[in-house]
Chain A
């Protein structure tokens, strides 16, 4: 599996809040989470793509991540215009992603 830059992701996990529902394991598209002793654990945080699925679907608020549009065109657009990052997927801008 290809890996992106090391030690940049903002994923935070509070083990004490975990109730072991395994929702994070279901929704994570990057196999970040494992499960041991009735609780989730982070296998490799560098695999995280910050999509935010785990935070959205953790009913107990054990996971936090600053999710966002991980596309250079969108971020540069935001930097230049000061607007929300958008990558043209909605046809407003024509820089290409997704």
Chain B
């Protein structure tokens, strides 16, 4: 590592293309180009939770183009996707990037947690002796970092003025051309159909880990007979339940987020419940199975699966850009007791059904 002066590991990265000399030593020079593995990384980070949780770059200082003491300083998180999007937008422009240690979390979430925060920024500015590198005495922070950074405290402690850039890195060029001013559009968080679709694979991927437990549980429950576990019952009766289970996941984690603005009511839990109930009804009409004629089974399905859809839709508040913690807490007060009551009643119905079946056999 000593040969290029960069911090550990970065020398081997594809996006490090050399180094530039600065008053504090050699700084890794990076490219705005995305390699194949950067593109694959973006895809995997959107789908695989295990990959996303460990998709990091080394915190520290990086050089884009051939920056000097008059170049801009951009601040980013050390989640690699955040960093990649920033370096792509900066391109070959001469600039410095300060990467904060946000434990591999994106700017907004890290700002909420405080890791993209006032203290971390102050310590990085001091640690890197940023005052020896640039004369401008200002750092440009993505606007969504503002929830973690007190600009006036950073300025008081370091002398560096904090300037808030646009929400999205794609607006950086326009922002600079506008004389470092973000217009209304650049200062708002978009949440279009496409923005929501991008988030869906991760939702589904996180749930799929739990869906396996549900499937195994259902197969055992329906297969369990006085003689032991019977495959016919497990697959034919359990199968019907599994179809409803997958449907409710689809309704809550895919359909509700995608159709969010078009579903009535503001509450996410209600939106998800409505769509869930609708999907269940459609499915009840179209599936031909004698199992559904049973009163207990019918009730259990109508009670439980819309609740699953509701819960998953409610979880999407974490992905949305316009929900507040007070709103989420208010929804919880109503939703959680109802979830518990509906699930318990559904469980009771299943037990009653099982007793009914066993009694007819014994």
Given known A-B contacts A57-B151, A67-B147, A91 and B54 have beta carbons under 8 A apart: yes
Interface set, chain A 68-92, CB cutoff 8 A to B = 68-76, 79, 87-91
Q: Are A95 and B206 in contact (CB under 8 A)?
A: yes
CB of B105 within 8 A of chain A? yes
Q: Are A53 and B109 in contact (CB under 8 A)?
A: no
Which chain A residues lie closer than 8 Å to B205 at the CB level? Answer: 96
**Cα separation A23 to B154 with both chains bound (whole Å):** 14
Q: Are B49 and A56 in contact (CB under 8 A)?
A: no
Measured between C-beta atoms, what is the minimum distance from B282 to chain A in Å? 26
Measured between C-beta atoms, what is the minimum distance from A18 to chain B in Å? 14
**Cα separation A2 to B261 with both chains bound (whole Å):** 7
Which chain A residues lie closer than 8 Å to B318 at the CB level? Answer: 69-74, 87, 96-98
Contact with A along B84-120 (1 / 0, CB 8 A): 0000000000000000000111101101110000100
What class of interface size applies to chain B in its complex with A?
A: 35 or more
A31 to chain B: closest residue by CB: B188
CB of B319 within 8 A of chain A? yes
Please pick, from A26, A30, A50, the residue contacting B325 in the complex, using a CB distance under 8 A.
A50
Residues of A in contact (CB 8 Å), total 48
Q: Chain A interface: which of B15-23, B171-179, B295-303, B326-334?
A: B326-334
Measured between C-beta atoms, what is the minimum distance from A7 to chain B in Å? 10
CB of A52 within 8 A of chain B? yes
Q: Are B322 and A95 in contact (CB under 8 A)?
A: no
Q: Are A70 and B315 in contact (CB under 8 A)?
A: no
Measured between C-beta atoms, what is the minimum distance from A2 to chain B in Å? 5
Measured between C-beta atoms, what is the minimum distance from B187 to chain A in Å? 7
Q: Are A4 and B332 in contact (CB under 8 A)?
A: no
Q: Are B105 and A75 in contact (CB under 8 A)?
A: no
A50 to chain B: closest residue by CB: B324
**Cα separation A72 to B334 with both chains bound (whole Å):** 13
Contact with A along B255-274 (1 / 0, CB 8 A): 00000110000111000000
Measured between C-beta atoms, what is the minimum distance from B273 to chain A in Å? 13
Q: How many A-B pairs with Cβ below 8 Å?
A: 165
**Cα separation A10 to B143 with both chains bound (whole Å):** 21
- Chain B residues touching A, majority SS: helix
Which chain B residues lie closer than 8 Å to A73 at the CB level? Answer: 315, 318
Q: Are B151 and A10 in contact (CB under 8 A)?
A: no
Q: Are A27 and B143 in contact (CB under 8 A)?
A: yes
CB of B209 within 8 A of chain A? yes
**Cα separation A75 to B118 with both chains bound (whole Å):** 25
Which chain A residues lie closer than 8 Å to B150 at the CB level? Answer: 56-57
CB of A36 within 8 A of chain B? no
Q: Are A2 and B325 in contact (CB under 8 A)?
A: no
**Cα separation A10 to B188 with both chains bound (whole Å):** 20
Which chain B residues lie closer than 8 Å to A95 at the CB level? Answer: 206, 315
Q: Are A72 and B317 in contact (CB under 8 A)?
A: yes
Contact with B along A52-71 (1 / 0, CB 8 A): 11001101000000111111
Q: Are B164 and A90 in contact (CB under 8 A)?
A: no
**Cα separation A30 to B324 with both chains bound (whole Å):** 11
Q: Are A5 and B267 in contact (CB under 8 A)?
A: yes
Please pick, from B111, B149, B315, the residue contacting A71 in the complex, using a CB distance under 8 A.
B315
Q: Are A72 and B103 in contact (CB under 8 A)?
A: no
**Cα separation A95 to B328 with both chains bound (whole Å):** 16
**Cα separation A79 to B329 with both chains bound (whole Å):** 10
Q: Are A75 and B112 in contact (CB under 8 A)?
A: no
B210 to chain A: closest residue by CB: A94
**Pairs A-B, 3 closest by C-beta atoms:** A97-B318, A71-B318, A91-B53
19 chain-A/chain-B pairs, Cβ below 8 angstroms: A5-B324, A5-B330, A5-B331, A8-B326, A8-B327, A29-B143, A29-B189, A29-B321, A30-B189, A51-B111, A52-B112, A53-B146, A57-B152, A69-B112, A70-B328, A71-B328, A72-B331, A79-B332, A95-B315
Hey, which bits of chain B sit against chain A, CB under 8 A? 49, 53-54, 103-106, 108-109, 111-113, 118, 143-144, 146-152, 164, 167, 182, 184, 187-189, 191, 202-203, 205-207, 209, 260-261, 266-268, 314-315, 317-319, 321-332, 336
17 extra interface residue pairs, beta carbon distance < 8 Å, beyond A4-B327, A27-B164, A29-B189: A2-B260, A2-B261, A26-B143, A27-B143, A48-B324, A50-B324, A50-B326, A51-B147, A53-B147, A56-B148, A56-B150, A70-B328, A72-B328, A73-B315, A90-B103, A91-B104, A96-B319
